[in-house]
Structure 1
Amino acid sequence: MSESISRRTFLKKGLRTLATVTGLGIGGGYYAHNVEPKWLEIKHKIISHPLIPKGFHGMKMIQFSDTHLGFQFQLNDLQAIVNKINQLDPDVILFTGDLMDEPNKYNAQQKIPPVLNQLKAPLGKFCIYGNHDHGGYGSEIYSDIMKKSHFTMLQNTSTKISLLTAEEIYIAGVDDAMLGQPDFEKALSGIPEEVYVIMLSHAPDLADISSKYNIKYQISGHSHGGQVQIPFAGALVTPPYAEKYREGTYEIDSLTLHVNRGLGTTRLPYRFLSRPELTIYEFQAE
């Protein structure tokens, strides 16, 4: 009799445990596929440095990155992000690469510029190449879309942001590290020595190169923050050139690096412990 009760109790406990594990698996899968990919986090970063002119005090830049349109992130998601960015009233907008997941296979290319054209930034909209922008014969497709969307492409070049007071800072951009040809010398050519320089690089690990130049801040994407992070183990996958600096803010010698987790997904339509991110950078003159 006691053996029968013992066996019955064991089976009940076993079934409860199996049901719990199965429930967690199903619930976790639903969360990672349907909840976290749309659970936007807005991060606020302060940029303060003696080289920032007083006229730039309070200026606001917003970075969005890695939309990977066509995989999980769709045009209606892009429209929602555009609405959110405009609500935040930026002076400058930065896109740090990977607009479409597979540019040559994305069938709604012509619908992207009307959405991105709604973005308002009085001091300019700037973009760089990511690896997916070059992939799938996408270089010209991406360039044409961003031009029609009135973004300035920074491919191994720089641009000056000037105020009516004649005060200025520079934003430079390098080509993608995986499928492009990043050239720091070319990107920084002609920039005066005693000015504040921001570098846009899709690949965060290029910060080790940026730190050797007169660059004070690097803004990157690419990593998705690992996209799926396993508790106590870390990111499931980190792409090349995002293995050292995966997410968040780092101090590398005299350089500050911020790695944005991006908005979309790739390879797997999941995010877990790696929410999509918009980053607001606010300037403070010392």
Structure 2
Amino acid sequence: MDTSPFAVVTEREPLSRRRFLGRSVKVLSCAAAGTLLYTWRVEPHWVEVVEWPLPIAGLAPELAGKRLVQVSDLHAGPIVDQNYLMASLEGIAKLRPDAIVVTGDFMTCDADESVGKAIEAMRALPSAPLGRLAILGNHDYGRYWQQEGAAGKLCSELEKLQIQTLRNEVASLGGLQIAGVDDLWTKNFQPEQTLRELATDRPALVLCHNPDGVDQPAFADYRGWILAGHTHGGQCKPPFMPPPIASVSNRLYVAGEYDLAGGRRMYINRGLGYAHRVRFNARPEITVFTLQRA
């Protein structure tokens, strides 16, 4: 009997091409299954809180350092998990918001059947000392973006929660002008009249759900920031490549900050919800802007 403390290594059978390919297929199958599971079960509800500076020309000193939280694209309704939405919105309280803006697509619906779920989710949104403002997105208008009754009912219910919906209107948050334009894909998109209401000698910020809207002529003379949503960050985005499917005409608009030249800058929020429960390299987002004097 061999009592040597060392293991005896015997010659192994060489790895054949067939065995190698078989093992490779198994590895690739496991990797693919893991990726599919991740894109379905993990990333769609893995919220990223993004901290971002927001320098604004002429900002009042008392607003410097204030925290403006942006939420977008909840898509409450038959697809997005309601408990996930409510927990995400409730968690905003920990971010100590001074103001909150919601940049559209509260719900996914044919008519007004999802208004109840949207309002139930929004009840979880914390209060904010300077106020809570919102605009509508294309999905808030229901099927073919033409259901005016659905949008109107949603706005009425949001008003009861003291969330002001700007439909081509301008409001003030502690002296900061906030202009909210209606959605580009609806017949109510009227940026010309909305931007004309902005006083040019006072700081301003524009909410525009669809980033394609900023390429319209009405925005040419505007100077300042635009906060948008709509894209979901592409929802599935290959690393270092643009998303294969995008809901914008300008395929450059995906997520994050964009320098639009002419004194305009835009930030696109990736949203909380989804059109289908799948996300890859485009995590849901809540953005916390710190207001700064430019």
Fold match (TM-score > 0.5): yes
Distance 1:181 1:115 in 2: 26
Change in Cα spacing, 1:57 to 1:106, as seen in structure 2 (3 Å) is same
Pick from 232, 256, 260 the counterpart of residue 252 of structure 1: 260
Residue of 48, 51, 55 corresponding to 2:62: 55
Identity value in percent: 28
CA contact (8 A) 1:47 1:284 kept: yes
Is residue 264 of structure 1 aligned with residue 273 of structure 2? Answer: yes
> Kindly tell me: are residues 180 and 275 of structure 1, through their superposed partners in 2, closer, same or farther at Cα, counting changes over 3 Å?
farther
Q: How many residue pairs were aligned?
A: 274
- 1:84 aligns with one of 75, 91, 102: 91
- Specify whether residues 241 and 171 from structure 1 end up closer, same or farther in structure 2 by C-alpha distance, changes over 3 A only: farther
Whether the aligned pair in 1 keeps the contact of 2:112 and 2:153 (CA below 8 Å) is no
> Following superposition of structure 1 onto structure 2, how do residues 217-256 of structure 1 map, counting pairs within 5 Å?
217-241=225-249, 243-253=251-261, 254-256=263-265
Match of 1:216 in 2: 224
Structure 1 unaligned runs (5+)? 163-167
Say which is worse superposed, 109-118 or 71-80, in terms of deviation.
Answer: 109-118
* Native 8 Å contact 1:228 1:271 kept in 2: yes
Which 10-residue stretch deviates more, 244-253 or 68-77?
Answer: 68-77
Residue 134 of structure 2 contacts residue 163 of structure 2 at CA under 8 Å; is this kept in 1? Answer: yes
Q: Does the CA contact (< 8 Å) of 1:199 and 1:215 recur in 2?
A: no
Contact 2:179/2:198 (<8 A) preserved: no
- Find the counterpart in structure 1 of residue 163 from structure 2: 151
SS in 1 for 2:105: coil
Structure 2-normalised TM-score?
0.86
Verify: 1:196 aligned to 2:208, yes or no. Answer: no
User: What do the CA deviations read for 1:103-122 (whole angstroms, capped 9, x no partner)?
Assistant: 53746x43543542342111
Matching of residue 43 in structure 1 with residue 43 in structure 2: no
With normalisation by structure 1, the TM-score equals 0.88
The DSSP-based 3-state class of the residue aligned with 1:230 is coil
- Structure 2, unaligned stretches of length 5 or more? 1-12
When residues 242 and 13 of structure 1 are mapped into structure 2, their CA distance, relative to the original with a 3 A threshold, is: same
- Distance in 1, matches of 2:107 and 2:233, equals 18
* Cα contact 1:33–1:271 (8 A) shared by 2: yes
CA distance in 1, matches of 2:86, 2:106: 13
Greater radius of gyration (CA): 2
Task: Decide whether the 8 Å contact of 1:208 with 1:252 is kept in 2.
Answer: no
Match of 1:19 in 2: 26
In the TM superposition, residue 22 of structure 1 has moved relative to its aligned partner by 1.2
Q: 2:116 corresponds to which residue?
A: 110
> Does the aligned pair in 2 maintain the 1:45–1:282 contact within 8 Å?
yes
Residue 131 of structure 1 is matched in structure 2 by 138
- Which secondary structure state, in structure 1, belongs to the residue aligned with residue 154 of structure 2? helix
For each residue in 1:88-143, what CA deviation from the matched residue of structure 2 results, as whole angstroms up to 9, or x when unmatched?
A: 11111111111112253746x43543542342111111111111001233322322
